[in-house]
Amino acid sequence: MAYFDAASAAPLHPVARQALLASLDEGWADPGRLYREGRRARILVDAAREAAAEAVGCRPDELSFTSSGTRAVQAGVGGVLAGRRRIGRHLIVSSVEHSSVLHSAEALEADGGTVTRVPVARSGAVAAGAYAEALRSDTALACLQSANHEVGTEQPVAAVAEVCRAAGVPLLVDAAQSLGWGRVDGDWSALTASAHKWGGPSGVGLLVVRKGVRYAARETEEFGNLPAIVAAAASLRAVRAEAGREAVRLRELTERIRVRVPELVPDVEVVGDPRRRLPGIVTFSCLYVDGEALLHELDREGFSVSSGSSCTSDTLTPSHVLRAMGVLSEGNVRVSLPAGVAEEDVERFLAVLPGVVAGVREKLGAPAPATVVAEDVLVVDALGKRCPIPVIELAKVIGNVPVGGRVRVLSDDEAARLDIPAWCEMRGQEYLGEEPADKGTAYLVRRTS
Amino acid sequence: MAYFDAASAAPLHPVARQALLASLDEGWADPGRLYREGRRARILVDAAREAAAEAVGCRPDELSFTSSGTRAVQAGVGGVLAGRRRIGRHLIVSSVEHSSVLHSAEALEADGGTVTRVPVARSGAVAAGAYAEALRSDTALACLQSANHEVGTEQPVAAVAEVCRAAGVPLLVDAAQSLGWGRVDGDWSALTASAHKWGGPSGVGLLVVRKGVRYAARETEEFGNLPAIVAAAASLRAVRAEAGREAVRLRELTERIRVRVPELVPDVEVVGDPRRRLPGIVTFSCLYVDGEALLHELDREGFSVSSGSSCTSDTLTPSHVLRAMGVLSEGNVRVSLPAGVAEEDVERFLAVLPGVVAGVREKLGAPAPATVVAEDVLVVDALGKRCPIPVIELAKVIGNVPVGGRVRVLSDDEAARLDIPAWCEMRGQEYLGEEPADKGTAYLVRRTS
């Protein structure tokens, strides 16, 4: 039994558990009250705030606790936008932010503001220059994650902060994935995080707003689950104390997965920056594999992982992160190792994975694609078929056209828009583009080898 | 040491503590995930939702968990207003709602909507007829608490719900103070509550929206602190199991305070409805007493209570509830007994209170008021003096004018606006009204006895 989804929620750290228990009897009263129980609660929350501020590298009065990381993002983005409303209503975000940031951006657009979404390279990283270009005289705020939650790529926060600072625009950093590993470098203006990403309790977020940033708070009261706050702060300190050694260990384990998965499993793309990345996250996509089936089979083998494939989400669209990176989304697996993970579990994962992928591929197997030759184009009708079938059918027929010949894949599956170009990239075939068809979309590919 | 402020936050119930501990190891994963840990978390949250729904008397799919009672109110009021925006933007609230409801009303006004604040009787209760009169064709929502948090008065929720139902307007009930005691009667449309009012953990709220109510949810994800949710639901069941017997016991204890405080302490007004009230709350105000000094002295004697006096809050204005009721706010004390409170502690409170009040009154004592007779009016200059000094000075000089003569009190303390008329009511003197003065406000009183 191995839990490899720490980027969603890390198991409760033993120190968080201890701190929670210790503060249950002291931390239930209203810290705003003048009497004994209130004063005791106030002492607890003040100590937690100081500990968290020390870990973040800010002043205690710059830090507040919220009921989740999402709430911290909503409050932080909303508060800076409101505080700088006179300057303008333009917001800059990267295209690979967490959904909480992107939802805040959509809310601004719905309310009449404008948003620039900065693209990323195939590694998942933004360029500081792209933020510089996006800055306008009416830019109220820029947002950038410290590291990506789906592929682990670290962002150039310090460089982007410098560019923003020069333009007088505050930068809000979503540090949800990285705060357990260390402080966020650079001259940022606001920062958000979420305790259950570092092994603290769920339901506690952090919001830091540096003094001097124009900020119009919309919340009337600070979040008040004191035992959870105490546990969050205590576990952040504990996790940090172990972070140096554990980072080295997890980085070695994820490096093993990065290197060996493509050796063990054919037709795999490992995604994300190979060097500038978080210690514990590694993400790869497997051609010709249905993400949901893959997760289900891995769960049966005792591995809990997540996926950015379309087939595993409610929306039937692939992860916006993979889409923005332009990488394959089918058969996607994110392994995010929790601190303290056993090396044997990683080895067993590597031992089990090839058979699991082969099994899923075999089940999806054969249905001979209905193909019709029209002029010099081989047409593959994959209408009504879901990821990864359109790509499987393309792969089956590419050998049936001569080098220089074309294949036209008809598909109404949203994932095909991402996965057919990604397949071409992986296979060295030429992707010619898409065009609307009678039903769905036609994707054109030229055989080049 | 006696904690008498359960209406702010009840001490953690032993069942809440047990449930929290039991679910810490099972409840940290994301219940939206398909793998083992996610499924276990989902089972926990579903069971908690069913238990809470049974206690509320609603369907499980009508109930969601939030990060606080305040958040439940914000989401509930906001969601119904958004869902019924086409009908109109008029909101009805009582004038004695919790600040979370009143803040939501202010937010609507700031955003261009309109609000009717229904007045209350001196008991603190609204009349259903007043809601009927307030209803308009563009009323989107009406809100009414099940019982008042400062004075314990129960509201006629069933009658108001019937009036609203007849007009096709949903009624949202803030049941924060009463849900631990029992279900809310009547055909209400939405309901909110807060776990730490019934002995659950802080940081968990409930929001119930009946099927058929037009509701536009604004939250993108449900609150996810599973151990706290499990503890909230488990403690609600436990508290309910004890509620029948405990209500009888607490009602007898608060009745003792209601009857004996006016016998033991001169110049006291017990406020709130003597019969239609919560079992554990009793509130009284002491003439010529500074609320902050009173709380401080009671804390030294080992009693934790709260106060609606102006002197104990940051804003220097008396509680909006006492103001709406038109009762005395100076020297105000709210005793809210937690379940399981010891009878001896209540008796000790009654033994200590007379001396504490007398001591505070003695300290405030003497400064001879500067008075000037102008025409037939005795002028008391209490400018720059805070509650309860203006009333003390009025009381000192009323005997200096003949029956039929007038006293004019100059004051720039907001509490005087409430306390001078309340003093007249208690003392059988005639309050003639207020008028602007060169500095502050002049309050006119005629001696009638």
Of B12, B24, B295, the CB nearest to A34: B295
Interface predicted TM-score (ipTM): 0.78
Measured between CA atoms, the residue of chain A closest to residue B102 is: A220
Query: Is residue B78 one of the residues assigned to a domain?
Result: yes
State whether A172 and A210 are in the same domain: yes
Report d(CA B82, CA B62) in Å as an integer: 18
- Average pLDDT of the residues in B397-423: 89
Query: Which of A67, A73, A333 to probe by mutation at the B interface, max B CB count within 10 Å?
Result: A67
Task: Give B48 to chain A, closest Cα distance, Å.
Answer: 16
Give the pLDDT band (50/70/90) at residue B369: very low
Distances (CA, A) of A305 to A282, A300, B142, B241: 11, 12, 46, 41
Amino acid at A4: F
pLDDT of res. A370 = 47
Which two structure tokens, joined as six digits, stand for A240?
Answer: 């940090």
* Domain harbouring A83, CATH code: 3.40.640.10
pLDDT of res. B316 = 58
- Average pLDDT of the residues in B123-147: 98
State whether A289 and A226 are in the same domain: no
Which residues of chain B neighbour A17 with C-beta distances below 8 Å? 24
Contacts of A321 (CB under 8 A, 6+ apart): A96, A124, A148, A149, A150, A151, A308
* Domain harbouring A258, CATH code: 3.90.1150.10
CA angle A281, A282, A288 (to 5 degrees): 145
Instruction: Report the number of distinct structural domains present in chain A.
Output: 3
Per-window interface: B 228-257 vs A, CB < 8 A: 228
Q: Which range, A308-312, A439-443, B25-29, B59-63, has the best average confidence (pLDDT)? A: B59-63
- Is the pLDDT reported for residue B62 higher than 90? yes
Across all residues in chain B, what is the average pLDDT?
A: 91
- Whether the CB-CB separation of A239 and A256 falls below 8 Å is answered with no
Cβ–Cβ below 8 Å for B223 and A25: no
Report d(CA B377, CA B375) in Å as an integer: 6
Active-site residue, from B58, B143, B164, B311: B311
- Average pLDDT of the residues in A393-403: 88
Cβ–Cβ below 8 Å for B37 and A304: yes
State whether A166 and A282 are in the same domain: no
- Is the pLDDT reported for residue B209 higher than 90? yes
Cβ–Cβ below 8 Å for A33 and B296: no
Between A170-174, B111-115, B205-209, B380-384, the lowest mean confidence (pLDDT) is in B380-384
Give the pLDDT band (50/70/90) at residue A245: very high
pLDDT of res. B313 = 55
State whether A43 and A123 are in the same domain: yes
Report d(CA B18, CA B14) in Å as an integer: 6
Q: What is the dihedral of CA B60, B66, B71, B73, to 10 degrees?
A: 10
CA angle B100, B105, B108 (to 5 degrees): 130
- Is the pLDDT reported for residue A373 higher than 60? no
Query: Is residue B4 one of the residues assigned to a domain?
Result: no
pLDDT of res. B370 = 47
Task: Give B95 to chain A, closest Cα distance, Å.
Answer: 19
Which residues of chain A neighbour B228 with C-beta distances below 8 Å? 201, 203, 225, 228
Which residues of chain A neighbour B68 with C-beta distances below 8 Å? 67, 223-224
The widest CA-to-CA distance across chain A, in whole angstroms, is 86
Task: Write out the H or E segment, with its range, that includes residue B293.
Answer: helix B291-300
State whether B84 and B172 are in the same domain: yes
Query: Is residue A307 one of the residues assigned to a domain?
Result: yes
Of B9, B99, B228, the CB nearest to A228: B228
pLDDT in tens, B93-110: 999 999 999 999 999 999
Task: Write out the H or E segment, with its range, that includes residue A4.
Answer: none
Across all residues in chain A, what is the average pLDDT?
A: 91
pLDDT of res. A369 = 45
Measured between CA atoms, the residue of chain B closest to residue A305 is: B35
* Domain harbouring A379, CATH code: 3.30.110.40
Which residues of chain A neighbour B25 with C-beta distances below 8 Å? 12
Which two structure tokens, joined as six digits, stand for B288?
Answer: 């010529």
- Is the pLDDT reported for residue A415 higher than 60? yes
Q: Does A290 touch chain B (CB under 8 A)?
A: no
Share of chain B above pLDDT 90, in %: 70
- Single out the residue in A211, A239, A267 at which a domain terminates: A239
Query: Is residue A105 one of the residues assigned to a domain?
Result: yes
Please state the length of chain A. 449
- Average pLDDT of the residues in A63-90: 95
State whether A175 and A56 are in the same domain: yes
Buried b / exposed e over B399-428, threshold 16 CB at 10 Å, is eebeeeebbbbbbebbbbbbbbbbbbebbe
State whether B379 and B417 are in the same domain: yes
pLDDT of res. B330 = 87
Which residues of chain B neighbour A1 with C-beta distances below 8 Å? 36
Which two structure tokens, joined as six digits, stand for B52?
Answer: 């809470």
State whether A396 and A345 are in the same domain: no
Which two structure tokens, joined as six digits, stand for B32?
Answer: 């939206």
- Whether the CB-CB separation of B300 and B283 falls below 8 Å is answered with no
Of B3, B5, B35, the CB nearest to A304: B35
Contacts of A322 (CB under 8 A, 6+ apart): A150, A151, A271, A285, A308, A328, A329, A332, A418
pLDDT of res. A314 = 55
pLDDT of res. A313 = 55
State whether A331 and A387 are in the same domain: no
Query: Is residue B232 one of the residues assigned to a domain?
Result: yes
- Average pLDDT of the residues in A157-171: 98
- Whether the CB-CB separation of B378 and B405 falls below 8 Å is answered with yes
Share of chain A above pLDDT 90, in %: 70
State whether B436 and B354 are in the same domain: no
Which residues of chain A neighbour B1 with C-beta distances below 8 Å? 36
User: Three-state SS for B427?
Assistant: helix
Domain that holds residue B145: 10-239
Q: Does A300 touch chain B (CB under 8 A)?
A: no
Chain pair A-B, CB pairs under 8 angstroms: 142
Q: Does B202 touch chain A (CB under 8 A)?
A: yes
**Residues paired with residue A36 on neighbouring β-strands, in sequence order:** none
- Whether the CB-CB separation of B16 and B231 falls below 8 Å is answered with yes
Task: Give B196 to chain A, closest Cα distance, Å.
Answer: 8
| Residue B5 DSSP one-character state | B
Q: Which of A352, A323, A150, A361 is nearest to A261 (CA)?
A: A352
Higher-confidence residue of B221 and B235: namely B235
Task: Give B29 to chain A, closest Cα distance, Å.
Answer: 6
- Is the pLDDT reported for residue B126 higher than 90? yes
For strands B63-66 and B205-209, give the pairing.
antiparallel
Phi then psi for residue B269, to 5 deg, are: -115, 120
Report d(CA B449, CA B430) in Å as an integer: 9
- Is the pLDDT reported for residue B81 higher than 70? yes
**Residues paired with residue B208 on neighbouring β-strands, in sequence order:** B63, B191
Give the pLDDT band (50/70/90) at residue A324: very high
Q: Does B71 touch chain A (CB under 8 A)?
A: yes
Query: Which of A1, A3, A33 to probe by mutation at the B interface, max B CB count within 10 Å?
Result: A33
- Is the pLDDT reported for residue A299 higher than 60? yes
pLDDT of res. B385 = 87
Which two structure tokens, joined as six digits, stand for B185?
Answer: 């009667």
pLDDT of res. B368 = 46
Instruction: State the first-to-last Cα distance of chain A, in angstroms, to the nearest integer.
Output: 44
- Single out the residue in A202, A223, A239 at which a domain terminates: A239
Q: Rounded to 5, what percent of chain B is helix, strand, coil?
A: 40, 20, 40
Cβ–Cβ below 8 Å for A37 and B304: yes
Buried b / exposed e over B276-302, threshold 16 CB at 10 Å, is ebbbbbbbbbbbbbbbbbbbebbbeee
Share of chain B above pLDDT 70, in %: 95
pLDDT of res. B22 = 86
- Is the pLDDT reported for residue B367 higher than 60? no
Instruction: State the first-to-last Cα distance of chain B, in angstroms, to the nearest integer.
Output: 44
Task: Write out the H or E segment, with its range, that includes residue B42.
Answer: helix B36-56
Amino acid at B267: D
- Single out the residue in A239, A265, A284 at which a domain terminates: A239
State whether B193 and B328 are in the same domain: no
Query: Which of A8, A23, A35, A314 to probe by mutation at the B interface, max B CB count within 10 Å?
Result: A35
Per-window interface: A 345-364 vs B, CB < 8 A: none
Which residues of chain B neighbour A201 with C-beta distances below 8 Å? 28, 225, 227-228
| Dihedral sign, Cα of residue A247, residue A253, residue A255, residue A261 | negative
- Is the pLDDT reported for residue A368 higher than 50? no
Give the pLDDT band (50/70/90) at residue B372: low
pLDDT of res. A364 = 80
- Average pLDDT of the residues in B79-95: 97
Q: Name residue, tokens 């650079």.
A: A186
Of A34, A202, A224, the CB nearest to B224: A202
Of A9, A33, A34, the CB nearest to B30: A9
Query: Is residue B3 one of the residues assigned to a domain?
Result: no
Cβ–Cβ below 8 Å for B10 and A28: yes
Task: Write out the H or E segment, with its range, that includes residue A77.
Answer: helix A69-83
- Is the pLDDT reported for residue A284 higher than 50? yes
State whether A98 and A191 are in the same domain: yes
Phi then psi for residue A105, to 5 deg, are: -65, -40
Query: Is residue A6 one of the residues assigned to a domain?
Result: no
Phi then psi for residue A65, to 5 deg, are: -100, 145
pLDDT of res. A222 = 66
**Catalytic residue check, A164:** no
Task: Give B18 to chain A, closest Cα distance, Å.
Answer: 11
- Average pLDDT of the residues in B411-433: 90
Cβ–Cβ below 8 Å for A10 and B20: no
